[in-house]
């Protein structure tokens, strides 16, 4: 606590041992305190629009916002919903429950099954908008993972392909283990890249594949593999030998995106050492690793498949359990710090500490930033090393043994997409991000971002239903936390899917039983001064709470706190 040098209304300095601070006029401080108080009152008493699931045991799973209409689409257990921007229900589409049995393969809708049937929930596993054809793709857990293509306006089913085995993606009923990326092609059909957990049925389902998305929903090629022959295919399966060594092995796909000429997936999966693990070992015995996978767009043979471990290290602590990620533009200030263009892609990711307890991650977590440029550089270096004949392919879970890299005089540039040698390729050297924020008590569960006046502003969801707003100007500065608000009244965790409204003034957040709309945290003042002091930095107008964040940052540099800066007696 600071000590008062004058018992009237004069400034109260920091406690002994702190460096002296520049005196701030008390009207300015009073204004700031009033603003903070108003913001806090608004946060606590504000009525937030909310949409509840029909039944509490019918959990909400996925959320996406149409980037032209602003409509929300919600994937839930047994339902797909379409909502207006203010969360008014427009359309409800039933997807379950239906009579099924996971042991029925092929599914009931193809041929009868001798297994006993029971009413079974349909967990939404994937919810994607295909903008090129103005339709919604929704995949569930029923019938070994059937997908539907629906009209965006009324959720009318355009097609529900079921006549081929590749139409069944995964019967694993866990949410958050599948991810898809739609890659449009000018004048041609789009391609769907799918990564999914397979729930032990590795003979039936590939863990990753690319599939056709014909413009005609009735096309017989709908969801077919892009390429499928006896010798080469646009898919990768988990070998049965891997499950013999590691019974609980599976790959959970947490995030995916397209950037430049490539498609990327981010996964969490058990490590598979050369000697495997004792048969029957539990998931708690495993070490997990997060990985980033890259494929070239248009590579139907998957010769370009590269997988490297990803995470970040802060003060000697490793953060290796990926919780969520979000691709964004860097913004002017962060880009300058990272030595990239403001229009280049950056990846914000949150990780939990360590490599154990994947299914119950530690609360200690970190926000890290990666440049796509740096990720691609690390992948290129790995390719170059292997094509020089150095080391092994390092993909034990897939190859089952050490396979020596083959030396070949091949130039590896930024656009290299592989050959029929040295593929698929793994690696053990960590692609390390820059840690910009850590949280020790309330695990970070989701992340999104926007650029405001050239600055990167990150929104983080937490395990206890809170949102944290952080300004990230660069890894050296770290992230400045300048607001935390409680959004979920029951303190339920915020799920990975978060999205902004079209005007960027509201944020949609979701727990397993409700979607809430949260107005932007900060009041955007119409004036340019705060009690006569310009709210600018580097010539750019700031939000009021960003101005407060700068005061907080100044306090940090002076080894004191915001409360000490604003501590007055009058």
Q: Render pLDDT for 427-470 as a digit per residue (tens, 0 to 9).
A: 999 999 999 999 999 999 999 999 988 889 999 999 999 999 99
Last residue of a domain, one of 208, 237, 266: 237
Which pLDDT score, from 0 to 100, does residue 37 have? 42
Residue 271 and residue 383 in one domain:
yes
Which pLDDT score, from 0 to 100, does residue 520 have? 60
Residue 171 and residue 134 in one domain:
yes
Cβ neighbourhood burial of 304 (10 Å; 0-12, 13-18, 19+): buried
Q: Which domain holds residue 341?
A: 247-441
Residue 23 and residue 110 in one domain:
no
Residue 209 and residue 160 in one domain:
yes
Task: Identify whether 560 is part of a domain.
Answer: yes
Which tokens hold the place of 484? 């935390």
DSSP 3-state of 165: helix
Residue 116 CA to its chain's centroid (Å): 38
Task: Identify whether 490 is part of a domain.
Answer: no
Q: State the total domains in the chain.
A: 3
What is the distance between the alpha carbons of residues 409 and 443, in angstroms, rounded to a whole number?
Answer: 47
Residue 309 and residue 267 in one domain:
yes
DSSP state of 93: E
Residue 276 and residue 369 in one domain:
yes
Task: Identify whether 477 is part of a domain.
Answer: no
Last residue of a domain, one of 400, 420, 441: 441
Task: Identify whether 376 is part of a domain.
Answer: yes
For residue 46, count other CB atoms closer than 10 A to its CB: 10
Beta strands in 217-316 (DSSP E): 235-236, 252-259, 262-270, 288-296, 306-314
In order of 61, 484, 518, 546, the CA distances from 466 in angstroms are 18, 7, 11, 19
Task: Identify whether 165 is part of a domain.
Answer: yes
Last residue of a domain, one of 186, 206, 237: 237
Tell whether the torsion through CA atoms of 85, 509, 146 and 293 is positive or negative.
Answer: positive
Buried-state track 213-252, b at ≥16 Cβ within 10 A, e below 16: bbeebeeeebbbbbeeeeeebbbbbbbeebbebbbebbbb
Residue 173 and residue 285 in one domain:
no
Residue 263 and residue 348 in one domain:
yes
CB 509 within 8 A of CB 516: yes
Task: Identify whether 343 is part of a domain.
Answer: yes
Who contacts 60 (Cβ-Cβ below 8 Å, separation ≥6)? 53, 74, 75, 76, 77, 495, 510, 511, 512, 513, 514, 515
Task: Identify whether 70 is part of a domain.
Answer: no
Which pLDDT score, from 0 to 100, does residue 452 have? 84
Which tokens hold the place of 96? 């379950």
Q: What is the CATH number of the domain that holds 331?
A: 2.130.10.10
CB 175 within 8 A of CB 123: yes
What is the distance between the alpha carbons of residues 171 and 205, in angstroms, rounded to a whole number?
Answer: 9
Which H, E and C letters describe 423-469, residue by residue?
CCECCCCCEEEEEEEEECCCCEEEEEEEEECCEEEEEEEECCCEEEE
Task: Identify whether 548 is part of a domain.
Answer: yes
Residue 171 and residue 296 in one domain:
no
- For every one of its 570 residues, what pLDDT tens digit does the chain have, with 9 covering 90 and above? 333 333 333 333 333 333 333 444 445 544 454 444 444 333 333 445 899 988 889 999 999 999 999 999 999 999 999 999 999 999 999 999 999 998 888 788 888 899 999 999 999 999 999 999 999 999 999 999 999 999 999 999 999 998 888 889 887 778 879 999 999 988 899 999 999 999 878 778 999 999 999 999 999 999 999 999 988 999 999 999 898 888 889 999 999 999 999 999 999 999 886 544 444 456 667 899 999 999 999 999 999 999 999 999 999 999 999 999 999 999 899 999 999 999 999 999 999 998 887 888 889 999 999 999 999 999 999 999 999 999 999 999 999 888 999 999 999 999 999 999 999 999 999 999 999 999 999 999 999 999 988 889 999 999 999 999 998 988 777 888 888 899 998 999 999 999 999 988 889 999 999 999 987 655 333 334 444 444 444 444 444 444 444 444 444 444 433 333 332 222
Residue 537 and residue 558 in one domain:
yes
Which pLDDT score, from 0 to 100, does residue 276 have? 47
Residue 200 and residue 275 in one domain:
no
Which pLDDT score, from 0 to 100, does residue 10 have? 31
Residue 395 and residue 420 in one domain:
yes
State the pTM of this model.
Answer: 0.85
């Amino acid at each position: 606590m600071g000590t008062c040098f004058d018992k009237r209304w004069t400034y109260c300095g920091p406690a002994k041992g702190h460096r002296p601070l520049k005196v701030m006029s008390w009207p300015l401080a009073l204004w700031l305190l009033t603003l903070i108080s108003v913001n806090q009152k608004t946060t606590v008493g504000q009525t937030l629009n909310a949409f509840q699931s029909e039944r509490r045991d019918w959990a909400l799973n996925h959320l996406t916002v149409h980037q032209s209409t602003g409509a929300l689409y919600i994937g839930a257990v047994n339902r797909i919903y379409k909502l207006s921007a203010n969360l008014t229900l427009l359309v409800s589409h039933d997807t379950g429950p239906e009579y099924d049995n996971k042991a029925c393969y092929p599914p009931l809708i193809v041929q009868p099954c001798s297994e006993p049937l029971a009413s079974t929930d349909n967990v939404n596993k994937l919810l994607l908008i295909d903008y090129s054809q103005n339709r919604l793709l929704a995949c569930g857990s029923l019938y070994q993972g059937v997908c539907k293509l629906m009209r965006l306006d009324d959720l009318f089913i355009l097609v529900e392909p079921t006549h081929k085995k590749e139409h069944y993606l995964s019967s694993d009923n866990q949410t958050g283990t599948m991810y898809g990326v739609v890659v449009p092609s000018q004048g041609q059909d789009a391609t769907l890249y799918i990564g999914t957990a397979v729930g032990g049925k590795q003979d039936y389902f590939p863990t990753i594949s690319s599939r056709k998305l014909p413009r005609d929903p009735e096309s017989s090629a709908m969801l077919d593999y892009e390429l499928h022959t006896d010798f080469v295919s646009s898919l990768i399966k988990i070998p049965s030998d891997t499950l013999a060594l590691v019974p609980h092995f599976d790959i959970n796909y947490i995030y995916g995106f397209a950037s430049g000429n490539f498609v990327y997936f981010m996964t969490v999966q058990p490590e598979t050492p050369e000697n495997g693990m004792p048969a029957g070992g539990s998931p708690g015995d495993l070490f997990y690793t997060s990985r980033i996978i890259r494929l070239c767009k248009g590579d139907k043979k998957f010769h370009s498949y590269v997988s490297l471990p990803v995470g970040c290290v802060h003060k000697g602590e490793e953060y290796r359990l990926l919780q969520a990620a979000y691709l964004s533009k860097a913004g002017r200030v962060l880009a300058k710090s990272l030595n990239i263009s403001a229009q280049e892609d950056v990846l914000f990711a949150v990780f939990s500490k360590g490599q154990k307890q994947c299914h119950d991650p530690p609360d200690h977590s970190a926000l890290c930033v990666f440049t796509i440029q740096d990720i691609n550089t690390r992948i290129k270096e790995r390719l170059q090393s292997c094509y020089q004949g150095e080391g092994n392919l390092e993909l034990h879970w897939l190859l089952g043994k050490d396979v020596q890299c083959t030396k070949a005089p091949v130039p590896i540039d930024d656009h290299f997409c592989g050959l029929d040698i040295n593929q698929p390729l793994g690696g053990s050297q960590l692609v390390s991000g820059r840690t910009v924020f850590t949280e020790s008590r309330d695990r970070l569960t989701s992340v999104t971002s926007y650029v405001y006046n050239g600055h990167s502003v990150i929104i983080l969801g937490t395990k206890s239903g809170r949102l944290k707003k952080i300004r990230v100007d660069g890894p050296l500065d770290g992230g400045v936390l300048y607001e935390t608000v409680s959004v979920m009244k029951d303190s339920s965790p915020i799920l990975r899917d978060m999205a902004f409204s079209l005007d960027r003034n509201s944020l949609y957040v979701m727990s397993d039983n409700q979607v809430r709309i949260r107005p932007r945290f900060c009041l955007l003042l119409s004036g340019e001064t705060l009690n006569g002091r310009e709210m600018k930095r580097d010539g750019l107008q700031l939000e009021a709470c960003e101005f407060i964040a700068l005061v907080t940052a100044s306090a940090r540099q002076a080894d004191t706190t915001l409360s000490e800066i604003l501590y007055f007696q009058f």
